[in-house]
Structure 1
């Protein structure tokens, strides 16, 4: 029978039985009793009162029993430091035991007990174990030095443990050496001062390399990581290290191979790049990197991420291995994406034919994301290999002829980039692109075709007609498309001024009067001011030559690349983030990684480009203004026609003294434009949305909806109002009122306690029953003694790590509170909004797939009444309460919001929100895998949004 039987004992009086068994004479009974104790401890029961009895069982030579006792003592060390002192004598005694396994177990346990009170007792056993005759004890003690340093670094230095640890680097046993290296490396990460004992010289490195061949695979990783941080004295020293590390490239363990690659890549920079040794070493590096791709997919992915770095640093290493990275039909999509990226990096003039053939084949696959990236990769090939640009364009046109919607749209996006790279060279394909206008529904594709029309407006006969068609649906377009429409029409006006004055007047009026998108409005004012003051300056700004884009904009900047190369085989080289991002915990801090387009299907506007880049690929959202030239421009104002004429070339005098001056004299109305009445869309609007995932537009909080009157909103904290939880009668003289709040990502239980008894109340403690969200106090209840008729307040932090048990209703919380008089009980409902977490924003594609996956019978319709705030205020209020807008869409003039939230227990809820103007309410569709949360969510919406 397995040990699972020990987790099923829940009978009363169990602790007394266990106490008797622990104090019995039979070792097998004691062993079973301790296993029951540890099982109870594991499921959260407090068995600390058995501490003396368990420790007494440690007085034995039975290794299994002793391990169980030590496991128990380690668990209660932090919460019961005084009790832990009772076991110190046992640890010290066992550190002198004849059995080396017990000696090692004792020193390991003392190192794991992170209690300051026992550090002084730990020093002498640790010193003896560092000099022990048995290598197993020494290697265990080496790691314990690092653990002790983390508790009390000054004590380690004072007791001379660093010197002893360094002496272990010369130990005859390779595992002792490996553990000593690992301990020193860990201490160096936390050491604030550059201690000379932690540095490595040539002699030490030679000793480590000698031990390398006899270590286990993880010992080799520790040693190689240490060698990778060593600075060689000269080129000869570096070459010697490389020669001794190179055999590790043929190791069966991928971690050892990557660590060896890291050392070699770092030392290669020191060598003469023209030497035969470097050429030979470059050829040797190819085989082990390729071999990593024969492992399971997860290892392949890590290997590919690291290979990508190696290729950026030294593309010659794998220049002949393009076929290795061809995608296999059964590769997971994440492996396919990485292989595709590496293929483009290895593509050159000699192998472009192979690459194009593969990419064209990939573009017919069934995986949409992979197809999109494959099409975009063809465009990258055209940008990278000049001589193959025409073939790439021809391939893209062939793909457009397939009429597959997402293929056509991605092809148009990359052709726009090709136009940027090769201006005035492939304009003959514009006619083919314009034929696809009616099928484009993705913002990036629509913005790209509009950019092409605006850029080549003077060569397209019906450019005005095409742009006017986009202008008809201007209000329904994504902000990215709106910006591009504005810029394209201004370009058209500057190239053909005589025929397009009404069009430019219309788009400028819409951009400045009928929108509350600040980016669009400001750009409209800038264009307006430019055209009114100096059309020639407008031409120089708007029609200026664009910087050419290049494939190099997709590379990581050199400084970051060097740091990542030095950390190959770690998380840094997988996430492409510096080590500081993980050490400091700032996992999402910006990094200077340049991406012409992000991996996969993200918008290029999310890329981060440093200011030192001479030319970077702009977003297709219309970034054609040279903003630095426009910073001093003021808001437009009416200007007499004579003033305009005096500054304008003769070819434009008639136009500017006529139509445009009328535009400038037009008053700007502040009244909002009311949309025509339209029926409120039902949830079928979302079904339409699911059919066209590209029509999801990321909602901007700056957009003012016409559905509600404008309103100013000040953010509120997620907090509920105070309620009476425990009456005077039920509390035997103690009354408790309180509320729940969420502050800085943590849940708090705020309470007000009033003493109506005839004596002072003290000794407060609190405990929760099992509940649906695992709510438990994160710290003891801190309440000062309350005098007679006194009142005090307290705030108790909560976490969600407790035992989960479904309650009815789901947010019901049963509480027991103790004082020096009695134990009192009450129940309350936790407002569910305090359980909404900050990571509840779901990605758009995940949102769509999740909505489809949740059964239709799980969808529920609720109504929230009394909502009179504007839509942008509503979004802000919901966002402040961790209900996030995934997308915003307009159907027949009616705005719809698609939102997501995540509960503390990991349950996601998807929301479709539709304003009901006639009844000042909201119609809300909910979809979640657990429908029990719907009533609480409805109450949350009502309390958050009802005025």
Structure 2
């Protein structure tokens, strides 16, 4: 609508709908009908429901007036879905309009039919669309090309059966560049939603696309360039040819065209062997990238995020342009932060003085976050450039002297890293740092300062006083600070074992074990306690071990991820710095009840009766540790002093040990070693959780490699996610030297629950009469909890799948898993109570639907997708219990190994 049409939005009459109905049916005044339709569109635009006028508006389609026809088509697109039976009335007019002498009307008819996502209309779209793809007018052909992509989204089989894909590919050879661009855009979109190759550029189509590139509109060029970026040149010569044809696009006014051209050049440069050509291309790419930084802030930010990736791959492109990344006073904060990142990446011995002057200036600005980032940037430059480290430190010291609290704290954090990077080089500044102790109030800064005091305690005369000042508030400190205080106090005690540190270490260990409920802190304290009480020399080796030198982190991205992101330059992927699959979720369809393969399982021949449970797949042979809990397995001393029985204290439970009785000597595959004999002073313990006949057992084996008889074995389990505890009386007979015993310990669940996020960690303590308590970690395989009642009927499965919201669906790839035979996999999973429901084919892959259930009636609806014999299985699951999904995937991956 034109600017004069604003009056149509200001109607406030009460009987508006009946009045509009009357105007729409006006037979004599054509202008009155057009005005009425405009009023209807205006009402629709502001959210009023004018669907009751559907028939009256459709009657206005029979007109020669192009403006009126466009308005009616706009109305139809909006309301056809809610009125599918009435929308069919418009089909004859669409078909007629698709053969109109006016090409604009032909294109409009086809475009509108493609936008109306109603099955009945789609059936009538094919013939007009086939005609329009071969129309004499290029405007009609380019509109029809996009319409094919829309139709593919509605009904992919129809598009393939009617030969539309071939017709689209023919349009790539069209003599009109806009038709070529739209055909490429449509094919690219279809390719994105298809799992098999549909649009592959050959050397023949390559030349057609490069020719069309010069004459397209800007967005046509973007479509073609993005498609060309998927083409891998056969050799260096072809790569040079592509780059030569694409380079002129670098001068384009549209930033999207520039970035798409940069993407192709970067990808093809990988194949170009001539260093002169590469150097020349780097020179050509710098000016257009710099020009992007003179655009408005939003475009600057997108450009900077892309440049951030480019300089990690090819720093030489902008090595001499660092000044364009200097921050202006009026840059938005998000632009400033991104410029800082790039300046760190481009900093070199040649330009570091300029860069440091800039950073020092930024560190005196008013925006606290920006100041922090600038101070940290100085430290990162020191770590990156060895020759400039001294200059960076002197700037940091100057900033500390300003006495601005948050500047001081940030400086201390980075100086700690500089000490790690250059050991025994800059420790003379510690005295200056200690002057700022009173101002520290942020956890990371406190932790850094405490680390410095502990690490260099022998050089600081009053180190014990400094640490004591922190210890006064130990119970109130955050976990990060408490952990550093604990370690620093142990370091001080080992370096200066005088009376002061002895009292401090007693107080700290007491605080960190008895007064805390943080398991990480408590476990670390117990390890230190045992080390100090049994073998102080071993404690020195562990605590005062040489630290690995830290390295420059300015190029943090893994090279394969970086290549992936560079191939997605000028898309959201390069702005988020994440691969597309990390944030784009393709449309997931629930299995359909009318799917022939899904509904009929008779031919698959799988047994529907549940199999007897057998041993679950063995977990990893090392002591299983969850990602968020440190390994709590101290090194065993050679000749330990008598130790107090810490079993109850460490496990946070009472000392009621489960006595054990006659072994049942279970047979089976070897168990994973959880306590090696080197750690257990000759005793080796192997174990894993298994399910037998609907009951969970701890299958445990003891190997006595000592010279003495071991007896009086006792076992205890710490609180855990599934509340597992010993549930029966089993006994290991006295174990003679050189012999072994294996037994099944019955387990009970949900008796011994730990709070917090679900974890597969199982902490175990084992004791005998001759040795100290041994602590080790095991993994709880979740499939041991899959119940025999996990089988679901197909209809129940479908209903359950549909009833759960999309937020409850998760998927994960198992890249190393292979399904060599569907039958064998189904049988193997059934043995662990993962029950087959149905299967169907999706192109060349098998899709298996399965179900499992854990106690308390929590179901897991499973969809496995894999090509037989090809590595890589995709596992999707829907479940009402989102918290258990990570453990579920862990279990499925181990079952599919």
Same fold per superposition (TM over 0.5): yes
Following the alignment from structure 2 to structure 1, what is the Cα–Cα distance between the partners of residues 238 and 436?
63
**Paired residue for 2:493?**
493
Deviation at 1:7, TM superposition (A): 3.7
Equivalent residue runs for 1:262-661 within 5 Å: 262-272=263-273, 274-499=274-499, 500-552=501-553, 554-584=555-585, 630-631=632-633
- Equivalent of 2:155 in 147, 152, 157: 152
Deviation at 1:556, TM superposition (A): 0.7
Following the alignment from structure 1 to structure 2, what is the Cα–Cα distance between the partners of residues 80 and 143?
25
Following the alignment from structure 1 to structure 2, what is the Cα–Cα distance between the partners of residues 270 and 423?
42
- Equivalent of 2:180 in 177, 188, 201: 177
Following the alignment from structure 2 to structure 1, what is the Cα–Cα distance between the partners of residues 502 and 480?
23
- Equivalent of 1:102 in 102, 105, 121: 105
- Cα distance change, pair 491–714 in 1 and its aligned pair in 2 (3 A): closer
Secondary structure of the 1:349 match is coil
Secondary structure of the 1:257 match is helix
Deviation at 1:287, TM superposition (A): 1.5
- Cα distance change, pair 233–62 in 1 and its aligned pair in 2 (3 A): same
Following the alignment from structure 2 to structure 1, what is the Cα–Cα distance between the partners of residues 35 and 531?
86
Following the alignment from structure 2 to structure 1, what is the Cα–Cα distance between the partners of residues 419 and 756?
46
**Paired residue for 1:863?**
none
Secondary structure of the 1:556 match is coil
Secondary structure of the 2:172 match is helix
Contact 1:333 1:370 in 2 (8 A): yes
**Paired residue for 1:20?**
22
- Cα distance change, pair 366–151 in 1 and its aligned pair in 2 (3 A): same
**Paired residue for 2:215?**
214
**Paired residue for 1:240?**
241
Equivalent residue runs for 1:784-823 within 5 Å: none
Contact 1:224 1:263 in 2 (8 A): yes
Following the alignment from structure 1 to structure 2, what is the Cα–Cα distance between the partners of residues 336 and 453?
34
Following the alignment from structure 1 to structure 2, what is the Cα–Cα distance between the partners of residues 143 and 514?
68
Deviation at 1:537, TM superposition (A): 2.5
Following the alignment from structure 2 to structure 1, what is the Cα–Cα distance between the partners of residues 296 and 234?
40
- Cα distance change, pair 501–663 in 1 and its aligned pair in 2 (3 A): farther
**Paired residue for 1:203?**
204
**Paired residue for 2:661?**
none
Following the alignment from structure 1 to structure 2, what is the Cα–Cα distance between the partners of residues 344 and 44?
51
CA RMSD of aligned residues (A): 3.0
Q: More deviation in 66-75 or 357-366?
A: 357-366
Following the alignment from structure 2 to structure 1, what is the Cα–Cα distance between the partners of residues 224 and 804?
45
**Is the counterpart of residue 33 in structure 1 residue 36 in structure 2?**
yes
Deviation at 1:42, TM superposition (A): 3.2
Following the alignment from structure 1 to structure 2, what is the Cα–Cα distance between the partners of residues 23 and 173?
42
**Paired residue for 1:726?**
none
- Cα distance change, pair 308–713 in 1 and its aligned pair in 2 (3 A): closer
Following the alignment from structure 2 to structure 1, what is the Cα–Cα distance between the partners of residues 99 and 230?
37
Secondary structure of the 1:87 match is helix
Following the alignment from structure 1 to structure 2, what is the Cα–Cα distance between the partners of residues 665 and 78?
68
* CA deviation map 1:761-812 (0-9, x unaligned): xxxxxxxxxxxxxxxxxxxxxxxxxxxxxxxxxxxxxxxxxxxxxxxxxxxx
Deviation at 1:646, TM superposition (A): 5.5
Contact 1:505 1:663 in 2 (8 A): no
- Cα distance change, pair 12–293 in 1 and its aligned pair in 2 (3 A): closer
Deviation at 1:317, TM superposition (A): 1.2
- Cα distance change, pair 236–148 in 1 and its aligned pair in 2 (3 A): same
Deviation at 1:280, TM superposition (A): 1.3
Equivalent residue runs for 1:79-90 within 5 Å: 79-90=82-93
**Paired residue for 1:77?**
80
Contact 2:527 2:634 in 1 (8 A): no
Equivalent residue runs for 1:600-749 within 5 Å: 630-631=632-633
Contact 1:181 1:223 in 2 (8 A): yes
Secondary structure of the 2:43 match is helix
- Cα distance change, pair 535–315 in 1 and its aligned pair in 2 (3 A): same
Structure 1 unaligned regions, length at least 5: 587-622, 635-643, 649-656, 672-701, 703-710, 716-741, 748-878, 881-947
Deviation at 1:49, TM superposition (A): 2.7
Deviation at 1:202, TM superposition (A): 0.8
* CA deviation map 1:303-329 (0-9, x unaligned): 111111111001111111122211222
Following the alignment from structure 2 to structure 1, what is the Cα–Cα distance between the partners of residues 362 and 580?
35
Following the alignment from structure 2 to structure 1, what is the Cα–Cα distance between the partners of residues 755 and 561?
42
**Paired residue for 1:114?**
117
**Paired residue for 1:49?**
52
- Cα distance change, pair 662–17 in 1 and its aligned pair in 2 (3 A): closer
- Cα distance change, pair 646–163 in 1 and its aligned pair in 2 (3 A): closer
* CA deviation map 1:889-922 (0-9, x unaligned): xxxxxxxxxxxxxxxxxxxxxxxxxxxxxxxxxx
Contact 1:541 1:626 in 2 (8 A): no
Following the alignment from structure 1 to structure 2, what is the Cα–Cα distance between the partners of residues 326 and 430?
32
Following the alignment from structure 1 to structure 2, what is the Cα–Cα distance between the partners of residues 670 and 562?
49
TM norm structure 2: 0.66
Deviation at 1:633, TM superposition (A): 6.8
Contact 1:85 1:117 in 2 (8 A): yes
Deviation at 1:338, TM superposition (A): 1.2
Deviation at 1:463, TM superposition (A): 1.0
Tell me which stretches of 4 or more aligned residues in structure 1 moved more than 6 Å: 661-671, 711-715, 742-747
Contact 1:532 1:664 in 2 (8 A): no
Deviation at 1:464, TM superposition (A): 1.1
* CA deviation map 1:832-859 (0-9, x unaligned): xxxxxxxxxxxxxxxxxxxxxxxxxxxx
Q: More deviation in 401-410 or 19-28?
A: 19-28
Contact 1:266 1:566 in 2 (8 A): yes
Deviation at 1:155, TM superposition (A): 0.8
TM norm structure 1: 0.63
Contact 1:529 1:633 in 2 (8 A): no
- Cα distance change, pair 319–12 in 1 and its aligned pair in 2 (3 A): closer
Deviation at 1:180, TM superposition (A): 0.7
Following the alignment from structure 1 to structure 2, what is the Cα–Cα distance between the partners of residues 667 and 361?
55
Contact 2:221 2:257 in 1 (8 A): yes
Contact 1:325 1:339 in 2 (8 A): yes
Secondary structure of the 2:395 match is helix
- Cα distance change, pair 744–506 in 1 and its aligned pair in 2 (3 A): farther
Equivalent residue runs for 1:119-134 within 5 Å: 119-134=122-137
- Cα distance change, pair 429–713 in 1 and its aligned pair in 2 (3 A): closer
- Cα distance change, pair 541–313 in 1 and its aligned pair in 2 (3 A): same
Q: More deviation in 557-566 or 526-535?
A: 526-535
Following the alignment from structure 1 to structure 2, what is the Cα–Cα distance between the partners of residues 668 and 338?
47
* CA deviation map 1:1-36 (0-9, x unaligned): 854443444544432222221111211111121122
Following the alignment from structure 1 to structure 2, what is the Cα–Cα distance between the partners of residues 13 and 664?
85
* CA deviation map 1:589-642 (0-9, x unaligned): xxxxxxxxxxxxxxxxxxxxxxxxxxxxxxxxxx9x9955x43679xxxxxxxx
Aligned residues: 624
Secondary structure of the 1:525 match is helix
Following the alignment from structure 1 to structure 2, what is the Cα–Cα distance between the partners of residues 202 and 664?
74
Equivalent residue runs for 1:931-942 within 5 Å: none
Following the alignment from structure 1 to structure 2, what is the Cα–Cα distance between the partners of residues 150 and 6?
35
Following the alignment from structure 1 to structure 2, what is the Cα–Cα distance between the partners of residues 296 and 192?
39
**Paired residue for 1:690?**
none
Equivalent residue runs for 1:876-915 within 5 Å: none
- Cα distance change, pair 466–143 in 1 and its aligned pair in 2 (3 A): same
